[in-house]
């Protein structure tokens, strides 16, 4: 290809349209935010750049690392793959909203005690993911390593946060289950061993 | 089980102190788990705009034209900047930093333009619409040991000679009873800290503030200021929390310069984050290596000769020569030895530091070769290493101030259950898997460089310690608090350690496993001086407070009388699916000798973290060069795999007591990098033991095991 000309960028002669915006009501950590968003905007960018909630992190922006994990109606989602325009009137919880009135969430305390992070950048995603994961397991949702997949509600039937799951239906979370269920959240510092220990303590 | 090899010292014995050596929780732990810890991109000054870079889409050539018309017509676009309209920079020492200064393209992915807009969405769209027309030239991106342009670099990182030779290695190889002569290779690997490199750049007249994701605020200031013709005092770099670096944020690279340049041109504060994909081109990586290792020994496995030749790459615009063969200069006794490094400049991105540059790929080759020698001689691989333990540094002849490799091997063998090991390969099955165990040694040099610190006593009985150190996840803020607490004889709650800001006293970069040694020395000296001053005043603190400073330039600059390295032994157990070749690391144990451990909790995390990255290197990591288009092809986490939670099962790290009075006031060696060194070799050696297949090319992929 020596000497060839090479041009990149799309050939767009018509002028590009203006951004499309939508007004909606975002509910984040029990606060209501009337917000106008660009329809191209992801929840992650809305949280970080518009609402000043920088707890959720951008590690890849492609749903591959889990650093942006937040809870929407109690289920863990990757906020970098979620368009904000789809979230009118949904309950969003970020790492900033995990603590209760009486102090940090037990997982937050356990993460500190077990040194389940180093740089801390994946940590908000790990924590939101762990909260969602514990609820999924309590609701009996199986994982790829669950030996008996007979019991529990399926992910399509209701959410695990409802509190109406009968006791005894939960999955016992051994190390294999926790590792499998937490594998959507990458940690480059290599804190996995301590993350599993921290979650185990809270799961008991 | 202290096995110090050093002579008795006249220094006063350091008694066990209350805080150094205790498992203090990370002092910023609560901030990190509640989302309050603020990283570079999370600073939002008033009137800010967003910058999105554009990358070259050819591997070599010249930019003919840049058409910004469509981009700048988009609503909300403030500027489109390229070499034709970019502010001029003073020529930098590192040509990577001359961003948008010429039409030359040195590698695919190099930054060629940047768009600034009111919102991130607009900036991204505008960057997409920018049209760049290239005069394409033929490129060469393939590393080969026989490349005709291979040359001997003057020095290898950071300042070692490229080649060394002792005795008569060729004659010794010819005479040796047992010879191992093999080629090993390691692929390009990318650091991939979870936080992509990011900068918020704010100009105020001739002053520039950079909220930057960096391992060294002082060094970013000193590098960036002259590019813009500014004295260093006009630039301030703020980086209180950094989401990992592993070397890739060790020196300022093109993104921080691009952010500053974009903000200057746009006349607005600018935020710029490198995308995960862009990180594979513009933020450095570990060079691929091709290594030939030749060992000559007697039938008992005693080495008479070691030859280690390394072949590596760098870019056209900057020479980065990794010190791949340097551990071979000091690991084992052998009267005859040669190490060489050869480099070829290709149309590729510039490689840089990645966790234990040199030691990591070099020890994969050396420690794999040692295992092959153990097999060839029928000697246990732990015993083989013990037999080749040198009395002094083989290269310099200097005594080691402490060297406890043998103790690590013995302790690891005991804990791992090594004694029951049957050396025969490929004969053990458990749960349908072929299982095996392997061992490798680990090492990392002791570095220390000058830093400054201040210590201040307040009237209310609290103290503050200030130093432009960086905590990239190492626990630096925590261990410096412990070190200050002991020196000040005060509890950690009364001490605030301020780091991560170039406005604080100058500090060295968080790299080379030298943070605790370098910064800790400055903190100790400052706190000692403050304590003396307080004692002189009978403990009275004036109302305005009392502050002293320390500079360790003279102390650290003194000539060394010892060879100083940390050591370790890595043990791995693997299970390999005999049908698919899928390899799982079932167990990893690291035993380290790294001087005094300042904080057992954060130290264990560092060791385990390094070992986990080593496991990842052994099984997954490989940046694949696209020969046709000249780019790292698998440039995201979907294609460049790093270890996930399910890959990491039983990993444990322990250490032995090591009392070395010749290091620094803490008696500590660095621990940030040694954890990754030797892990991949231990895994590959275990895979050989499990399967009988010797994998000499990382990573240990399925296709390398299924025959």
pLDDT in tens, B633-666: 999 999 999 999 999 999 999 999 999 999 999 9
CB B280 within 8 A of CB B248: no
- Confidence (pLDDT) at B18: 85
Instruction: Decide if A48 and B120 are in contact by the 8 Å CB cutoff.
Output: no
Instruction: Decide if A122 and B64 are in contact by the 8 Å CB cutoff.
Output: no
Q: Residue B31 falls within a domain, yes or no?
A: no
- Confidence (pLDDT) at B357: 98
CB B201 within 8 A of CB B263: yes
Q: Which residues lie below 8 Å from residue B645, measured CB to CB, with a gap of 6+?
A: A178, A179, A180, A182, A183, A185, A187, A192, A195, A196
Q: Show which of B510, B538, B557 is a domain's final residue.
A: B557
* CA pair distance B632, B107, nearest whole angstrom: 11
Angstroms from A9 CA to nearest CA on chain B: 5
* CA pair distance B632, B444, nearest whole angstrom: 29
* CA pair distance B696, B183, nearest whole angstrom: 7
Instruction: Decide if B473 and A117 are in contact by the 8 Å CB cutoff.
Output: yes
Q: What value, to the nearest 5°, has the Cα angle with vertex B633 and ends B629 and B635?
A: 135
- Confidence (pLDDT) at A16: 60
Q: Which residues lie below 8 Å from residue B188, measured CB to CB, with a gap of 6+?
A: B285, B286, B287, B288, B351, B622, B623, B625, B632
Q: Measured between CB atoms, does A14 come within 8 Å of chain B?
A: no
Please write the tens of the pLDDT for every residue from B125-141.
999 999 999 999 999 99
Q: Residue B98 falls within a domain, yes or no?
A: no
Please write the tens of the pLDDT for every residue from B106-120.
999 999 999 999 999
Confidence band for B3, pLDDT divided at 50, 70 and 90? very low
More confidently predicted of A204 and B183: B183
* CA pair distance B610, A193, nearest whole angstrom: 12
A48 contacts on B by Cβ (under 8 Å): 41-42
Among residues B181, B310, B197, the alpha carbon closest in space to that of B248 is found at: B197
CA of A5: which chain B residue's CA is closest? B135
CB B621 within 8 A of CB B604: no
Rounded percentage of chain B residues whose pLDDT exceeds 70? 98
Confidence band for B450, pLDDT divided at 50, 70 and 90? very high
B474 and B619 housed in the same domain: no
- Confidence (pLDDT) at B382: 98
B580 and B693 housed in the same domain: yes
Please write the tens of the pLDDT for every residue from B329-350.
999 999 999 999 999 999 999 9
Q: Show which of B511, B539, B557 is a domain's final residue.
A: B557
- Confidence (pLDDT) at A169: 72
Q: Is the pLDDT of residue B540 over 90?
A: yes
Instruction: Decide if B475 and A118 are in contact by the 8 Å CB cutoff.
Output: yes
Number of domains in chain B: 2
- Confidence (pLDDT) at A167: 45
Q: What is the DSSP letter of A48?
A: I
Please write the tens of the pLDDT for every residue from B76-102.
999 999 999 999 999 999 999 999 999
Q: Is the pLDDT of residue B17 over 70?
A: no
Tokens read off for B182: 């093999």
- Confidence (pLDDT) at B348: 98
Instruction: Decide if A108 and B129 are in contact by the 8 Å CB cutoff.
Output: no
- Confidence (pLDDT) at B405: 98
- CA B300 to chain CA centroid, Å, is 36
Q: Is the pLDDT of residue A89 over 90?
A: no
Segment 37-56 of chain A within 8 Å of chain B by CB = 38, 40-41, 45, 48-49, 52-56
Confidence band for A1, pLDDT divided at 50, 70 and 90? very low
- Confidence (pLDDT) at B160: 98
* CATH code for the domain in which residue B575 is found: 3.30.365.10
Q: Residue B414 falls within a domain, yes or no?
A: yes
Tokens read off for B612: 């986990």
Active-site positions of B? 673
Please write the tens of the pLDDT for every residue from A190-199.
999 999 999 9
Q: Residue B628 falls within a domain, yes or no?
A: yes
CB A21 within 8 A of CB A36: yes
Residue A165, CB half-sphere, CA atoms under 13 Å: how many? Answer: 25
Q: Show which of B540, B557, B574 is a domain's final residue.
A: B557
Instruction: Decide if B131 and A8 are in contact by the 8 Å CB cutoff.
Output: yes
B405 and B486 housed in the same domain: no
* CA pair distance A25, A33, nearest whole angstrom: 6
Q: Is the pLDDT of residue B223 over 80?
A: yes
Tokens read off for A110: 């356990």
Please write the tens of the pLDDT for every residue from A24-81.
999 999 999 999 999 999 999 999 999 999 999 999 999 999 999 999 999 999 999 9
B603 and B642 housed in the same domain: yes
Confidence band for A95, pLDDT divided at 50, 70 and 90? very high
- Confidence (pLDDT) at B660: 97
* CA pair distance A57, A48, nearest whole angstrom: 8
- CA B530 to chain CA centroid, Å, is 34
- Confidence (pLDDT) at A154: 52
- Confidence (pLDDT) at A156: 52
- Confidence (pLDDT) at B614: 98
Q: Give me the mean pLDDT over the B2-29 stretch.
A: 63
CATH of domain A21-143+169-203: 3.10.20.30
Q: Is the pLDDT of residue B572 over 50?
A: yes
- Confidence (pLDDT) at A121: 98
Q: What value, to the nearest 5°, has the Cα angle with vertex A159 and ends A158 and A162?
A: 105
Range of the domain at B652: 400-446+564-707
Tokens 């630096």 found at: B476
Among residues B3, B19, B18, B8, the alpha carbon closest in space to that of B661 is found at: B8
Q: Where are the beta strands (DSSP E) in B89-177?
A: 104-105, 111-117, 131-136, 155-156, 160-161, 164-166
- Confidence (pLDDT) at A10: 60
- Confidence (pLDDT) at B560: 87
Using a cut of 0.90, tell me whether the model's pTM lies above it. Answer: yes
B531 and B585 housed in the same domain: no
- Confidence (pLDDT) at A19: 87
Q: Is the pLDDT of residue B365 over 80?
A: yes
B568 and B691 housed in the same domain: yes
Q: Is the pLDDT of residue B193 over 50?
A: yes
Among residues B644, B623, B41, the alpha carbon closest in space to that of B284 is found at: B623
Please write the tens of the pLDDT for every residue from B285-308.
999 999 999 999 999 999 999 999
B489 and B629 housed in the same domain: no
Range of weakest confidence among A132-141, B1-10, B517-526, B571-580: B1-10
Segment 113-172 of chain A within 8 Å of chain B by CB = 113, 115, 117-124, 127
Q: Residue B678 falls within a domain, yes or no?
A: yes
B409 and B454 housed in the same domain: no
How much is the mean pLDDT over chain B? Answer: 96
Q: Nearest 10 degrees: CA dihedral of B311, B672, B28, B494? A: -140
Tokens read off for B629: 């288009």
Q: Residue B503 falls within a domain, yes or no?
A: yes
Q: Which residues lie below 8 Å from residue A136, measured CB to CB, with a gap of 6+?
A: A75, A155, A160, A181
B611 contacts on A by Cβ (under 8 Å): 190
Angstroms from B403 CA to nearest CA on chain A: 27
Tokens 């001689």 found at: B377
- Confidence (pLDDT) at A204: 87
ipTM comes to 0.96
In a mutational test of the A interface, the residue from B27, B33, B43, B615 whose CB has the highest number of chain A CBs within 10 Å is B33
Please write the tens of the pLDDT for every residue from B29-55.
999 999 999 999 999 999 999 999 999
Among residues B658, B668, B662, the alpha carbon closest in space to that of B520 is found at: B668
């Amino acid at each position: 290809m020596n000497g060839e000309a090479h041009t990149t960028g799309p050939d767009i002669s018509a002028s590009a349209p203006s951004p499309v915006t939508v007004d909606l009501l975002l509910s984040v950590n029990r606060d209501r935010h009337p917000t106008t968003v660009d329809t191209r905007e992801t929840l992650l960018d809305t949280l970080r750049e518009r609402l000043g909630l920088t707890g959720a992190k951008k590690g890849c922006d492609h749903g591959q690392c889990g650093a942006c994990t937040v809870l929407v109606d109690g289920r863990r989602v990757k906020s970098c793959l979620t368009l904000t325009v789809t979230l009118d009137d949904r309950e969003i919880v970020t790492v900033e909203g995990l603590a209760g009135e009486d102090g940090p969430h037990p997982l937050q305390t356990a993460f500190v005690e077990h040194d389940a992070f180093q740089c801390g950048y994946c940590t908000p995603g790990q924590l939101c993911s762990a909260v969602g994961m514990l609820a999924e397991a309590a609701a009996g949702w199986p994982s790829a390593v669950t030996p008996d997949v007979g019991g529990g509600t399926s992910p399509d039937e209701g959410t695990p946060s409802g509190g109406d799951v009968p006791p005894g239906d939960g999955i016992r979370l051994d190390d294999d289950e926790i590792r499998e269920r937490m594998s959507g959240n990458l940690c480059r510092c290599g804190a996995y061993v301590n993350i599993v220990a921290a979650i185990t303590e809270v799961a008991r | 089980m202290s096995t110090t090899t050093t002579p008795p010292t006249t220094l006063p014995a350091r008694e066990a102190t209350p805080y150094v050596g205790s498992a203090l929780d990370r002092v910023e732990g609560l901030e990190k788990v509640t989302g309050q810890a603020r990283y570079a991109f999370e600073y939002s000054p008033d009137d800010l705009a967003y910058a999105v870079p554009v990358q070259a889409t050819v591997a070599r050539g010249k930019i003919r034209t840049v058409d910004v018309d469509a981009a700048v017509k988009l609503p909300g676009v403030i500027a489109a900047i390229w070499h034709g309209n970019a502010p001029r920079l003073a020529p930098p020492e590192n040509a990577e930093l001359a961003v948008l200064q010429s039409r030359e393209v040195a590698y695919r992915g190099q930054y060629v333009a940047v768009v600034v807009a009111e919102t991130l969405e607009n900036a991204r769209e505008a960057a997409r619409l920018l049209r760049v027309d290239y005069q394409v030239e033929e490129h060469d991106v393939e590393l080969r040991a026989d490349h005709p342009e291979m040359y001997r670099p003057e020095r290898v990182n950071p300042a070692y000679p490229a080649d060394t030779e002792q005795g008569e290695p060729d004659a010794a190889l010819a005479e040796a009873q047992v010879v191992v002569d093999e080629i090993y290779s390691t692929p390009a690997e990318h650091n991939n800290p979870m936080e992509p490199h990011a900068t918020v750049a704010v100009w105020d007249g001739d002053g520039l503030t950079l909220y930057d994701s960096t391992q060294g605020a002082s060094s970013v200031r000193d590098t960036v200021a002259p590019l813009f013709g500014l004295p260093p005092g006009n630039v301030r770099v703020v980086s209180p929390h950094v989401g990992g670096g592993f070397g890739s944020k060790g020196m300022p690279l093109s993104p921080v310069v691009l952010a500053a340049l974009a903000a200057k041109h746009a006349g607005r504060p600018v935020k710029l984050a490198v995308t995960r994909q862009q990180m594979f081109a513009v933020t450095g990586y570990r060079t691929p290596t091709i290594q030939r290792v030749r060992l000559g020994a007697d039938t008992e496995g005693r080495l008479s000769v070691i030859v280690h030749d390394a072949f590596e790459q760098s870019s056209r615009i900057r020479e980065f020569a990794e010190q791949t063969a340097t551990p071979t200069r000091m690991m084992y006794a052998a009267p005859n030895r040669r190490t060489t490094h050869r480099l070829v400049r290709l149309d590729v991105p510039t490689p840089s530091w990645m966790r234990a540059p040199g030691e990591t790929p070099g020890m994969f080759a050396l420690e794999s070769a040692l295992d092959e020698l153990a097999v060839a001689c029928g000697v246990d691989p732990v015993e083989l290493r013990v037999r080749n333990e040198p009395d002094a540094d083989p290269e310099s002849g200097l005594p080691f101030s402490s060297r406890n490799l043998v103790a690590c091997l013995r302790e690891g063998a005991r804990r791992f259950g090594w004694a029951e090991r049957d050396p025969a390969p490929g004969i053990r099955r458990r749960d349908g898997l072929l299982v095996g165990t392997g061992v490798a040694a680990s090492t990392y040099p002791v570095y220390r460089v000058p830093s400054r610190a201040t210590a201040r006593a307040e009237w209310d009985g609290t103290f503050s310690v200030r130093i432009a150190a960086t905590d990239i996840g190492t626990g630096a803020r925590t261990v410096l608090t412990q070190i200050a607490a002991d020196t000040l004889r005060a509890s950690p709650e009364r001490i605030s350690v301020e780091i991560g800001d170039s406005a604080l006293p100058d500090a060295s970069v968080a790299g080379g496993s030298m943070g605790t040694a370098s910064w800790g020395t400055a903190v100790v000296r400052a706190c000692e001086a403050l304590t003396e001053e307080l004692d002189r005043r009978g403990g009275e603190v004036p109302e305005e407070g009392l502050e002293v400073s320390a500079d360790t330039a003279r102390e650290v600059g003194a000539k060394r009388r010892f060879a100083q390295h940390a050591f370790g032994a890595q043990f791995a157990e693997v299970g390999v699916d005999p049908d698919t070749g899928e390899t799982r690391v079932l167990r990893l144990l690291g035993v380290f000798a790294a001087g005094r451990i300042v904080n057992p909790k954060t130290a264990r995390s560092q060791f385990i973290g390094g070992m986990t990255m080593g496991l990842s290197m052994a099984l997954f990591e490989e940046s694949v060069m696209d020969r046709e288009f000249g780019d790292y092809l698998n440039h995201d986490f979907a294609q460049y795999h790093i270890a996930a939670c399910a890959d990491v099962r039983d990993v444990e790290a322990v250490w032995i007591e090591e009392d070395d009075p010749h290091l620094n006031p803490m008696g500590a060696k660095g621990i940030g990098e040694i954890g990754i060194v030797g892990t991949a070799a231990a895994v590959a050696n275990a895979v050989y033991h499990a399967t009988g297949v010797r994998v000499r090319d990382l990573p240990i992929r399925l296709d390398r095991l299924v025959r």
